[in-house]
């Protein structure tokens, strides 16, 4: 049943990563429930969720399991004629925390990049910082995706299998040119960022490989950095410089403007400027009142 459901997702053009994640979730669910899928109850699902919470999984991860399970039973009902009670309901999903993005400060960015001693890694992380790429998007890049003449990068099948184009800064273009001159790959290798040594030399650098390089430089520099914080920094810095939210949404590849709006809570110069103006007025009025009180007291005692 699980294989049939996943095959239906492939026909609907779900991404390989989503299908792989669903398979892991559903196979574990089936294994731990100890019952045939057709016989699973809401109590079984509740016990499974309790196990996930006890393991320390966050609400987002638990809800990922519930999404996969709910999708499977929806398929069983619609495509296979199953008439049982669906074991997952909307109210079963956990309430998620909504932490604000954590961008790096300008000083942290400088300290981090001072520690980067590889031409490849500098180009790779600068591209993520100045173009807002996710780590999976940097991993997927091919040489042909860098449009040198237009100074753009073409991102194929980003999150949600959506393509987008992002402009490249002069600093980023310079770093990419230096890397391409030093890049040692077989002529047929299409990947932009490749492994540079040992067993897998010349092959596409994996997502985990990129993350490990960031972990190395974070430890070396003492900056609490990760790949996704580069993306947060990209968005926050552009908003601080006055970029329109609608334009930033396109650059980030967000499906919903509400996702982009979370960065307004961190960096909104208009809010900051208005706050400082209003608070300045309030404090000036307070000081004037204090001055008048002191003058009145002085007159009484005089």
How does the average pLDDT of the chain come out, rounded? 87
**Which pairs with CB-CB distance under 8 Å and at least 24 residues apart come from 212-219?**
213/118, 213/121, 213/124, 213/125, 214/125, 217/112, 217/115, 217/116, 217/121, 217/125, 218/112
The CA-atom distances, in angstroms, between 38 and each of 72, 88, 159, 271 are 11, 13, 33, 54
**How would you class 245 by CB atoms within 10 Å of its CB: exposed for 0-12, middle for 13-18, buried for 19 or more?**
middle
pTM of model > 0.85: no
pLDDT tens-place string over residues 130-180: 999 999 999 999 999 999 999 999 988 756 667 888 888 999 999 999 999
What's residue 275's pLDDT? 64
User: What are the residues facing 70 on neighbouring strands?
Assistant: none
- Three-state helix/strand/coil letters over 30-97: HHHHCCCHHHCCHHHHHHHHHHHHHCCCCHHHHHHHHHHHHHHHHHHHHHHCCCCCCCCCHHHCCCCC
Q: Of 230-239, 260-269, 280-289, which one has max mean pLDDT? A: 230-239
What's residue 72's pLDDT? 93
What's residue 119's pLDDT? 95
pLDDT band, very low/low/confident/very high, at 6 (cuts 50, 70, 90): very high
Q: Of 61-70, 98-107, 252-261, which one has max mean pLDDT? A: 61-70
Of residues 100 and 117, which shows the higher confidence score?
Answer: 117
What's residue 273's pLDDT? 66
Mean pLDDT of 112-128: 95
């Amino acid at each position: 049943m699980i294989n049939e459901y996943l095959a239906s997702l492939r026909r609907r053009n779900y991404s390989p990563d989503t299908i792989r994640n669903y398979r892991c979730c559903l196979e574990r669910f089936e294994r731990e429930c100890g019952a045939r899928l057709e016989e699973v109850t809401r109590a079984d699902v509740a016990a499974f969720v309790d196990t996930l919470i006890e393991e320390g999984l966050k609400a987002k991860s638990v809800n990922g399991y519930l999404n996969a399970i709910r999708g499977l039973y929806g398929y069983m009902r619609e495509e296979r004629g199953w008439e049982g009670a669906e074991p997952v309901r909307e109210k079963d999903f956990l309430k998620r925390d909504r932490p604000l993005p954590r961008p790096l400060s300008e000083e942290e960015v400088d300290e981090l990049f001072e520690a980067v001693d590889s031409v490849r890694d500098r180009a790779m992380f600068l591209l993520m910082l100045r173009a807002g790429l996710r780590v999976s998007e940097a991993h997927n890049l091919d040489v042909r995706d860098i449009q040198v003449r237009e100074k753009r990068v073409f991102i194929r099948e980003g999150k949600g299998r959506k393509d987008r184009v992002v402009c490249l800064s002069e600093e980023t273009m310079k770093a990419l040119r230096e890397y391409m001159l030093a890049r040692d790959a077989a002529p047929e290798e299409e990947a932009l960022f490749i492994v540079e040594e040992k067993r897998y030399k010349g092959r596409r650098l994996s997502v985990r490989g990129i993350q490990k390089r960031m972990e190395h430089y974070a430890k070396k520099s003492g900056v609490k950095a990760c790949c996704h914080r580069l993306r947060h920094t990209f968005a926050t810095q552009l908003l601080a410089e006055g970029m329109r939210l609608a334009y930033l949404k396109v650059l980030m590849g967000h499906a919903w403007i509400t996702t982009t709006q979370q960065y307004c809570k961190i960096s909104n110069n208009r809010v900051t400027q208005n706050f400082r103006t209003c608070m300045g007025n309030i404090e000036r009025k307070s000081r004037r009142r204090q001055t008048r009180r002191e003058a009145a007291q002085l007159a009484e005692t005089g």
